[in-house]
Structure 1
Amino acid sequence: MVFAHDTEAALVETAALVNTPLDDIAALDAFLREHEDTGVRAGTQDELESVRALRPRFRRFWELGEDELVETVNALLVESRPLPQLVSHDNWGYHLHAVPRDAPLAVRMTVEAAMALVDVVRTGALDRLRGCAYPDCDNVLVDLSKNRSKRFCDAGCGNKSAVNAYRARRAAAVQP
Structure 2
Amino acid sequence: MLFAHDTEVALRGAAALVNTAATLATDTEDLASVTDLDAFVRDWEWTGSHTGEESELAAVHALRPRLRRLWTADTDEAVALVNELLAEAGALPQLVRHGGWSWHLHATPPEAPLPTRMAVEAAMAMVDVIRADELGRLRVCAADDCEDVVVDLSKNRSKRFCDGGCGNRANVAAYRARKATTP
Give the alignment's TM-score, normalised by structure 1. Answer: 0.95
The answer as to 2:64 corresponding to 1:94 is no
2:166 equivalent to 1:161: no
Inter-partner Cα distance in structure 1 for 2:156 and 2:35: 37
Tell me which residue corresponds to 1:12.
Answer: 12
Query: Once the two structures are aligned, what percentage of the paired residues are identical?
Result: 60
Aligned mate of 1:132, from 95, 116, 141: 141
Question: Whole-Å Cα distance in 2 between the matches of residues 158 and 90 of structure 1?
Answer: 35
1:71 aligns with 2:80: yes
Aligned pairs, how many?
A: 174
Higher relative CO (CA 8 A, sep ≥ 6), structure 1 or 2?
A: 1
Residue in 2 that maps onto 1:34: 43
For the residue of structure 2 that corresponds to 1:141, the secondary structure is: strand
Runs of 4+ in structure 1 over 3 Å off: none
Once residues 72 and 130 of structure 1 are traced to their aligned partners in structure 2, the CA distance between those partners, rounded to angstroms, is: 17
Counterpart residue type for residue 16 of structure 1 = A
- Mapped to 2, the partners of 1:158 and 1:92 lie a distance apart of 32
CA deviation after TM superposition for structure 1 residue 15, in Å: 0.9
SS in 2 for 1:42: coil
Q: Counterpart of 1:48?
A: 57
Distance in 1 between residues matched to 2:11 and 2:60, nearest whole Å: 16
Unmatched 5+ stretches in structure 1:
none
Shift of 1:34: 1.9
TM-score by length of 2: 0.91
